[in-house]
Amino acid sequence: IQLLSDGGVSVCTGVSGTVSQVVAEWKGGSLAEAGASDACTRHAFHDHQG
């Protein structure tokens, strides 16, 4: 998520529906942008321990 955010890409998690519905929600500002705390803690990119 951090890599995408650093590149100017907004990341939202937990959305559902058609692409058109999700785009409309995003344009309407009703989707929350995901942050590092929303990412899976079990991945290979870095350690969250410190």
For 1-50, how does the pLDDT look when each residue is reduced to its tens digit (9 = 90+)? 888 889 999 888 889 999 999 999 999 999 998 887 877 765 656 555 55
Query: Is 12 within the bounds of a domain?
Result: yes
Query: Is 45 within the bounds of a domain?
Result: no
Domain range for 13 is 2-36
Q: Which one, of 26, 2, 28, lies nearest residue 14 by Cα?
A: 26
Token match 């991945």: residue?
43
pTM value is: 0.57
Give CA–CA dist 35/4, Å, rounded.
10
**How many domains in the chain?**
1
Query: Is 26 within the bounds of a domain?
Result: yes
Query: Is 50 within the bounds of a domain?
Result: no
Give CA–CA dist 27/45, Å, rounded.
30
Give CA–CA dist 50/6, Å, rounded.
20
Encoding tokens for residue 18? 């058609």
